[in-house]
Amino acid sequence: MANEVIPHSLFSEFDVALFQSGKHFKLYEKFGSHELEVNGEKGVYFAVWAPNAKSVSVTGNFNFWDKEHHALFVRWDGSGIWEGFIPGLGNGETYKYVIQTYTGEQLEKGDPFAFRWEIAPKTASVVHSTWYEWQDKQWMQERAVKNRLDQPWSVYEVHLGSWSRDPESPDTLLNYREIAVQLVSYVKEMNFTHVEFMPLMEHPYYPSWGYQITGYFAASSRYGSAQDLMYLIEELHAAGIGVLLDWVPSHFPGDAHGLYRFDGTSLYEHEDPRKGFHPDWQSYIFNYGRNEVRSFLISNAFYWLDRFHIDGLRVDAVASMLYLDYSRNAGEWIPNEFGGNENLEAVQFLKELNEAVYGHFPDVQTIAEESTSWPSVSRPTYAGGLGFGMKWMMGWMHDTLDYFKEDPINRSYHHDRLTFATVYAFHENFMLPLSHDEVVYGKQSLIYKMPGDEWQKFANLRALYLFMYTFSGTKLLFMGGEFGQTSEWNVNQSLDWHLLEFAPHQGMKQFVADLNAVYKAQPSLYQKAFDAAGFEWIDAGDRENSIVVYWRKGFDSWDDTVVVLNLTPVVREHFRIGLPYAGEWEVLLNSDDLTYFGSGIHNLHIHSEHLHWMNQVQSAQLHLPPLGGYILKRKRAVEEVNPIKQGERIPV
C-alpha cells in the first residue's frame, strides 16, 4: 500500500480568493491530480472542491481501493478544498474520491479536473500529464490573421468516432493518430479552412455524441491520450487548418461518478429542479450564480485553448442557458428578480466568459449555437452584447432547407423563404450551418431532402451549396454532406465512403472542393461577410422563374462577384441579368459543369452591354443551367493586372 498522505498545497491565498470570487481561470493548474516532487519524494498531489463533505479520501489500485486509508486534508480557510500529497504514485494511476457526507452517504466520484479517465464503461480517473512538445509555432503566429472575421471560414463539422473506421473492424474506433493520417489530407484536399469537432471531452454514453460530459478536462480515452489528440491538432495546424471544438457549459449528466450532487449536495447544479434540471435532456444545469462554478467553467474553456491550442469554441445550447422557461410549461420555472424569463446569472456568465477568452486569447473565436432572437449575441459586451464572435444563423438554415425541399414547380410560391434572410442577416455575425442536427432522427440526409430524380437531387444540392457559400456569413457543413451521403448519420458506423465509387457522389465531392477553393480565393465572398455593404440584390423578385441575382462586394471593387441562380429544372437561354460594371466577365464556378454530374450548360464569352437592366447600367445575356448557377467576376485587362511603369511601352 502507498505511503500516508502528506499535507501539501498548490493554492496560495490569492488563488483561493480568485476561485471564490469566480475569477480564477486556470484552476486546472491547481485542482485535480499532479505529479510533483515534495521533500525529495516523487508522488501525486490531489485537490478537490467538496465544501459540504465530512471527509474525502483517495482510493485506487495503489491502495486496493481502500476507502478510508488515504484521507485528504481540508483547508483551514473555509474554501471547501481538500488536498494532500501521496508519495510513490505516478502517471497512469487510476483513482476516485470517496466522499463521506454529513447525511451518512458514501459517494465514489471521479475527479472533475482529471486529465484522463478510464475507457467507458469504467469510470475511474487516471493521473495523466498534458505535457507536449508542440511543433505548430508557425500556425500559432499566423492564426491571428487566419481567424479574423474578415477572413474565409469554411468549417467541416466532424464526429470523430463515425467519420471513418477500419473496414476490417467496423466496430472499433480509430484513435486520434490513426484518424490524423486520413482526416488531415482529406480536409486539405477539400479546401476547408477549419475543422469543428463535436465534443471530445470524456463522456460515459457514446450515443450522446459527446454532449453529456463527465470529464470536462479530459480528452476522451476512446480515441487515445491527450497527447494523441494534440498530435491530431498539430497535424491540422501544419496543413493550415484551424481547429474548433464544441463546448458544453449548459448541462451535464446525472451519472453517479460525475458532477451531480458531487459532495452530497447540489454543488455544481441548482438545488431547485425548476432551475437545475433540464427536461429535454434529463440532465442538470450549472449554477451560474455560484462563483466557484463560473471559475470551473471558464477555466475549462481556457484549458482547451491553452493546453490544446484550440482555435475557437462553439458553445452548445446557448438558448437553453438564456431562458429560465426553456422547454418548460407554466409553473415549471421561476422568474428572475424582475419577473422575466431571462436567466440573468447565465447572461452574466456568458459575458464574463467571452471577456475572459478574448482578453487572454485574442486570436481565437467563440461561436454561439443560439436559436432564438436574443439580441446582440455576437456584439461586444461593452455595447450590451453577449460578446461572442459569431452566432449560428438557424433561421437561414430552416428557411433555405424548406425552400429547397419544395418541388421546383411550387417554388414560386415560396420565393420569400430564399430571400427573407437579408432582412436580419446583418443583425449578428452569422455562421450558416448545415449541421449534424439536420441529418438525424428521421430528418433524412441532405441529398434526400432534395426533390426530383437522382440527377435533380444532386443538382438541387449543388445549387443549395452554391447559395450557401455565396450568401453573407461564414459556413459550416457536417461531414458526409460534401459527397452526398444518402443515409442519415449513424453515430455507430463510418460514413458511406463507398459512395465515392459512383459518378454523382464523385461530382458532388469535387464541386464542394472547388466551391471551397473559389470561396477562399475571392475576397468579395468573405471580407464583408457580416456587413450589409458586402451584399446587394440585383434581382430578388423573379419568383415566377425562381431566379435570383446578387452582388457580393469586397474591399476592392475589382474583387466583386455576381451570383445568378436558376432554381427550376428549365434551361433559360438568352436570359438577361444586370451587371454592376462594364467589361468582359468570366465564370469562376458553374454548378452545372459536367465534372460535377451536371448537364454541361455553359457560357463561353460574357460581354456586358450598356443596356440598363435590373437597376444596373450594364447587362449581359446568359444561358442559365437547370437547377444551377454561376459565380461571375469581371476580367481585368493586362495593363490593369500588371500596371505599366512610367517610360515602358505598352505591349501590342
Question: What CA–CA distance (Å, rounded) separates 290 from 285?
Answer: 12
**pLDDT given for residue 229 in this prediction:** 98
Q: Answer whether CATH 2.60.40.1180 is correct for domain 532-634.
A: yes
Average pLDDT over residues 74-103: 97
Average pLDDT over residues 484-513: 97
- Could you please report the per-residue DSSP string of 313-324? EEETTHHHHHBT
| Placement of cell 443560439 in the chain | 370
**pLDDT given for residue 583 in this prediction:** 96
What is each CA distance from 18 to 207, 289, 304, 361, in whole angstroms?
Answer: 37, 15, 20, 20
Please name every residue paired with 107 in a beta bridge, in sequence order, or none if there are none. Answer: 99
Query: How confident is the model over 201-211, as pLDDT tens digits?
Result: 999 999 999 99
Q: 650 pLDDT band (50/70/90 cuts)?
A: very low
Instruction: Please tell me which residue in 311, 316, 370, 482 is annotated as part of the active site.
Output: 316
**pLDDT given for residue 648 in this prediction:** 33
Asked if the model's pLDDT at residue 591 lies above 60, the reply is: yes
Identify whether the C-beta of residue 202 lies closer than 8 Å to the C-beta of residue 218.
Answer: yes
Asked if the model's pLDDT at residue 64 lies above 50, the reply is: yes
Vertex 161: Cα angle to 160 and 163 (nearest 5) = 65
Average pLDDT, the chain: 95
Pick the closest to residue 447 from 416, 404, 392, 490 (CA basis): 404
- Cell numbers standing for residue 256: 453517479
Which uninterrupted H or E stretch holds 470?
Answer: helix 454-470
Pick the closest to residue 633 from 526, 558, 521 (CA basis): 558
**pLDDT given for residue 168 in this prediction:** 87
Query: How confident is the model over 114-141, as pLDDT tens digits?
Result: 999 999 999 999 999 999 999 999 999 9
Query: How confident is the model over 290-333, as pLDDT tens digits?
Result: 999 999 999 999 999 999 999 999 999 999 999 999 999 998 99
Asked if the model's pLDDT at residue 570 lies above 60, the reply is: yes
Question: What CA–CA distance (Å, rounded) separates 97 from 70?
Answer: 10
Residues in the chain: 652
- Could you please report the per-residue DSSP string of 402-468? HHHHS-GGGGGGGHHHHHGGGGTTTSS-EEEEE-GGGGSTTS--HHHHS-SSHHHHHHHHHHHHHHH
* Identity of residue 115: F
- Cell numbers standing for residue 624: 442559365
**pLDDT given for residue 433 in this prediction:** 98
Dihedral (C-alpha) 58, 59, 63, 67: value to the nearest 10 degrees? 100
316 is catalytic: yes
**pLDDT given for residue 637 in this prediction:** 66
Asked if the model's pLDDT at residue 652 lies above 70, the reply is: no
What is each CA distance from 223 to 27, 169, 245, 301, in whole angstroms?
Answer: 25, 15, 16, 21
Pick the closest to residue 537 from 514, 553, 519, 555 (CA basis): 553
Q: Kindly provide the residue ranges of all beta strands, DSSP E only, lying in 253-394, ordered along the sequence.
A: 277-278, 283-284, 312-315, 365-368, 390-392
Backbone φ/ψ region at 100: left (φ over 0), alpha (ψ -120 to 50), beta: beta
Q: How many CB atoms lie within 10 A of CB 424?
A: 13
**pLDDT given for residue 545 in this prediction:** 97
Secondary structure letter of residue 269 according to DSSP: B
Asked if the model's pLDDT at residue 558 lies above 80, the reply is: yes
Please name every residue paired with 169 in a beta bridge, in sequence order, or none if there are none. Answer: none
**pLDDT given for residue 642 in this prediction:** 40
Asked if the model's pLDDT at residue 638 lies above 60, the reply is: no
Instruction: Please tell me which residue in 15, 83, 111, 369 is annotated as part of the active site.
Output: 369
Pick the closest to residue 483 from 502, 456, 470 (CA basis): 502
Average pLDDT over residues 534-555: 98
556 is catalytic: no
564 or 648, which is more confident? 564
Model confidence pTM above 0.85 = yes
Question: What CA–CA distance (Å, rounded) separates 319 from 337?
Answer: 20
**pLDDT given for residue 636 in this prediction:** 84
SS (H, E, C) 560-593: CEEEEEECCCCCEEEEEEEECCCCEEEEEEECCC
Secondary structure letter of residue 623 according to DSSP: E
Q: What percent of the chain shows pLDDT beyond 70?
A: 97
Domain boundaries, the chain: 13-127, 532-634
Identify whether the C-beta of residue 322 lies closer than 8 Å to the C-beta of residue 370.
Answer: yes
Asked if the model's pLDDT at residue 640 lies above 90, the reply is: no
Asked if the model's pLDDT at residue 643 lies above 70, the reply is: no
**pLDDT given for residue 167 in this prediction:** 86
Q: 1 pLDDT band (50/70/90 cuts)?
A: low
Identify whether the C-beta of residue 328 lies closer than 8 Å to the C-beta of residue 319.
Answer: no
Average pLDDT over residues 258-286: 95
Distant-in-sequence, close-in-space partners of 135: CB < 8 Å, separation ≥ 6: 234, 238
How far the first Cα of the chain sits from its last, in Å, is 91
Average pLDDT over residues 353-357: 98
Distant-in-sequence, close-in-space partners of 307: CB < 8 Å, separation ≥ 6: 28, 130, 132, 226
Burial class (CB in 10 A: 0-12, 13-18, 19+), 127: buried
Q: Do domains 13-127 and 532-634 have the same CATH topology?
A: yes
Pick the closest to residue 562 from 596, 539, 545, 529 (CA basis): 539
Query: How confident is the model over 460-471, as pLDDT tens digits?
Result: 999 999 999 999
Q: 3 pLDDT band (50/70/90 cuts)?
A: confident
CATH of 13-127 among 3.40.50.2000, 3.30.160.70, 2.60.40.10, 3.30.70.120: 2.60.40.10
